[in-house]
A and B are shown apart, each in its own frame.
Chain A
Amino acid sequence: MLSTEEQAVVGTVADWVDREVRPVVRDMEHANTYPDKLIEQMKEMGIYGLAIPEPWGEAPVSMPCYALVTAELSRGWMSLAGAMGGHTVVAKLLLAFGTREQQDRYLPKMATGEIRATMALTEPGGGSDLQAITTRARRDGDSYVVSGAKTWITNARRSRLIALLCKTDPDARPRYKGVSILLVEHGPGLTVSKDLPKLGYKGVESCELMFEDYRAPGDAVLGGVEGRGFAQMMKGLETGRIQVASRALGVARAAFDDALAYAQQRESFGKAIWKHQSVGNYLADSATKITAARQLILYAAERFDAGQRCDMEAGMAKLFASEIAMQVALDAVRVHGGYGYSTEYDVERYFRDAPLMIVGEGTNEIQRNVIAAQLVKRGGLDRG
């Protein structure tokens, strides 16, 4: 399905993960080390330009290829996939909705990774109900004055560009018409908190952003027109959900690969443990779930590239892939027995990383709401 070149792109990332990431990831995880060297290598390969075409970038790939690259990174270390996910969403937002000036200003340097980008949606008071956000951008002469707070912003400190979801008109009805995306950079009035402590997803920082009379230029609104931010971000989140689903696929794959290898090498009662039906069943079920998740992700990714609406499909992929990643990670712990609970093995990390994809990028409860609403709106599933 992928072209020869795109297969080579995925294969290069897979080789890189095996040679450069897997040998060092356990130490970096437990020391909570920011992966400077790995991120630099990711920039050199072109990971940050995967979504950026000419004239700003040089090597864009299809959404299925992007999904499989993300899964490979995550197979090595989910945090690496987290260090490029929001960046890609912001790149897609700029491509789809940015003014030419905004595209020219940011995309060339984003393609090389010189400028990294993140998006800021969730607030301390709520994440899922995006229309209820309280961060406010008030027009004042030639600029906007921003006040409010955002939280769980990954790569907050290292991203020069932040796509900030905020209210430019808090009185608008319906509420979404008052939402805009502001392209903001670090400056006076924007404070980044210390790193938030997390169960997993180590190495890369997640922080709170505090805006207090922060001034953004008047041309910082994505696309130049206020009130379109909600629809823009809904489109951006299609990419985001495919990305998070792919991260889950990578974690599940890593857990399964480790379990399959261990089950052939470890013996009990005089035979390799995979030959015990109870253990073999875990392997069979895990591989089946992973194969299904991969197909769902590729289905959503192909619809995205075909220009079809894919919020429901991306939601299904994200819901299913994240739920099975948790199951596969737990089953990998079971297959490893006591070693599965040891921090000297990798499987405990998969078990701590998997829940992020369940609660992140729209909780799975929200995904189900989206899917149900779309099913009713579209009159059920397609016959095709």
Chain B
Amino acid sequence: MNIVVLVKQVPDTYSERTLRAADGILDRAATDPVLDEINERAVEAALQLTEAHGGEVTVVCMGPASAADSIRKALSMGADRAVHLSDDALAGSCAVQTARALAQVIGGLDHVDLVLAGNGASDGRVSAVPAMVADVLDLPALTHARQITVDGTTVTVRRETDRGAVGLTAELPALISVSEKINEPRYPSFKGIMAAKKKPVTQPSIAAAGIAAAEAGLASALTTVTSVVPRPPKSAGQKLTDDGDGGAQIAVYLAAQKLI
């Protein structure tokens, strides 16, 4: 089965991330860019599926030139090839524009059985792109998967969210977004790192990908950031002195917060 994995380069989750004061856009220059961890899990899921069922893994990434490092990491893990959609005109794209652009690229690939994505990038946290891509491509969307099983042309996933677990089944082709619980991604082997150098990475222009320049980028985005306010610092909380009635005082506090 041939699998497309959508990957995104994001600022290192473990570093301090800030928004630019001028336009409210994430300040990417301030941190080290890395392959989003959730995408490593999506790549791992794709590799496990192709190891079990055969087929190839194509990585699709929309992002600036520096995203080549993240693509290389996915190839080092074992993906076979990549498409890197990179054009200054795409900068500032909203979720809908991004989904349309990614769908154009995926639509141009031969015989795709499955599209895998993370359930949400750690930078924007919009977490809508996978479902939007499925919508544009008219594929069933099986989101928040923590387990994937493929049997013939049928795919079954176990969706797990804060509200509970659900089983979902669809016929291929389909799109699946994975949750953090799906697997532990492998470390690239040194052999994989050396081999990645020779794997094909195509870089279509937006015109070749079938994206109209007038519809791309910040100027025609459907969403606009109007203002940015830093999260207020954590308040100091309330200190209780335990004079033998500490437990009762905590109970009174929790009851006042309607927590008990």
Residues on A lying within 8 angstroms of B by beta carbon are 4-5, 8-9, 12, 15-16, 41, 44-47, 49-50, 58-59, 61
List, in ascending order, chain A residues with CB within 8 A of B193's CB.
Answer: 5, 8-9, 12, 59
CA distance A281 to B190 in the complex (A): 39
A59 near B72: Cβ-Cβ < 8 Å: no
List, in ascending order, chain A residues with CB within 8 A of B187's CB.
Answer: 12, 15-16, 41, 44-45
List, in ascending order, chain B residues with CB within 8 A of A49's CB.
Answer: 190
List, in ascending order, chain B residues with CB within 8 A of A58's CB.
Answer: 190-191, 194
Partner pick for B191 among A4, A15, A46, CB 8 A cutoff: A46
Partner pick for B189 among A5, A15, A45, A61, CB 8 A cutoff: A45
Q: Is B39 part of the contact surface with A, judged by Cβ < 8 Å?
A: no
Closest 3 CB pairs of A and B: A46-B190, A59-B190, A59-B191
List, in ascending order, chain A residues with CB within 8 A of B191's CB.
Answer: 46, 58-59
Given contacts A8-B188, A44-B186, 7 further A-B contacts (CB under 8 A): A4-B197, A5-B197, A9-B190, A12-B190, A15-B187, A41-B187, A61-B190
B189 near A59: Cβ-Cβ < 8 Å: yes
Report the minimum CB–CB distance from B190 to chain A (whole Å): 4
CA distance A233 to B76 in the complex (A): 36
Per-residue A-contact encoding for B194-235, CB less than 8 Å = 1, 0 else: 101100000000000000000000000000000000000000
A12 near B197: Cβ-Cβ < 8 Å: no
B: contact size bracket:
10 to 19
Report the minimum CB–CB distance from A166 to chain B (whole Å): 34
List, in ascending order, chain B residues with CB within 8 A of A50's CB.
Answer: 190
B76 near A8: Cβ-Cβ < 8 Å: yes
Residues on B lying within 8 angstroms of A by beta carbon are 72-73, 76, 186-191, 193-194, 196-197
Report the minimum CB–CB distance from A81 to chain B (whole Å): 16
CA distance A46 to B76 in the complex (A): 13
List, in ascending order, chain A residues with CB within 8 A of B186's CB.
Answer: 44
CA distance A294 to B189 in the complex (A): 25
Closest to A42 in B: B187
Ordered by A's residue number, 21 sampled pairs between the chains whose C-beta atoms are within 8 Å are A5-B193, A5-B194, A5-B197, A8-B72, A8-B73, A8-B188, A8-B193, A9-B190, A12-B76, A12-B187, A12-B190, A41-B187, A45-B189, A50-B190, A58-B191, A58-B194, A59-B189, A59-B190, A59-B191, A59-B193, A61-B190
CA distance A61 to B186 in the complex (A): 21
Report the minimum CB–CB distance from B34 to chain A (whole Å): 9
CA distance A46 to B193 in the complex (A): 10
Report the minimum CB–CB distance from B205 to chain A (whole Å): 24
Most buried by A among B189, B190, B191, B194: B190
CA distance A61 to B189 in the complex (A): 13
CA distance A5 to B194 in the complex (A): 6
List, in ascending order, chain B residues with CB within 8 A of A45's CB.
Answer: 187-190
Closest to B72 in A: A8
List, in ascending order, chain A residues with CB within 8 A of B76's CB.
Answer: 8, 12
List, in ascending order, chain B residues with CB within 8 A of A15's CB.
Answer: 187
List, in ascending order, chain B residues with CB within 8 A of A8's CB.
Answer: 72-73, 76, 188, 193, 196
List, in ascending order, chain B residues with CB within 8 A of A4's CB.
Answer: 72, 197
Report the minimum CB–CB distance from A370 to chain B (whole Å): 32
CA distance A16 to B190 in the complex (A): 13
Report the minimum CB–CB distance from B20 to chain A (whole Å): 26
List, in ascending order, chain A residues with CB within 8 A of B190's CB.
Answer: 9, 12, 45-47, 49-50, 58-59, 61
Report the minimum CB–CB distance from A111 to chain B (whole Å): 10
List, in ascending order, chain B residues with CB within 8 A of A9's CB.
Answer: 190, 193
CA distance A61 to B190 in the complex (A): 9
CA distance A219 to B193 in the complex (A): 37
CA distance A8 to B196 in the complex (A): 11
CA distance A145 to B189 in the complex (A): 41
Closest to B14 in A: A18
List, in ascending order, chain B residues with CB within 8 A of A61's CB.
Answer: 190
Most buried by A among B76, B191, B193: B193
Report the minimum CB–CB distance from A97 to chain B (whole Å): 25
Closest to A15 in B: B187
CA distance A261 to B99 in the complex (A): 41
Report the minimum CB–CB distance from B156 to chain A (whole Å): 29
Closest to A50 in B: B190
Most buried by A among B73, B76, B186, B189: B189
Closest to B193 in A: A8
List, in ascending order, chain A residues with CB within 8 A of B189's CB.
Answer: 44-46, 59
CA distance A20 to B225 in the complex (A): 39
List, in ascending order, chain A residues with CB within 8 A of B188's CB.
Answer: 8, 12, 45
Closest to B68 in A: A4
List, in ascending order, chain A residues with CB within 8 A of B197's CB.
Answer: 4-5
Report the minimum CB–CB distance from A121 to chain B (whole Å): 29
Report the minimum CB–CB distance from A23 to chain B (whole Å): 14
Report the minimum CB–CB distance from B204 to chain A (whole Å): 23
CA distance A161 to B63 in the complex (A): 49
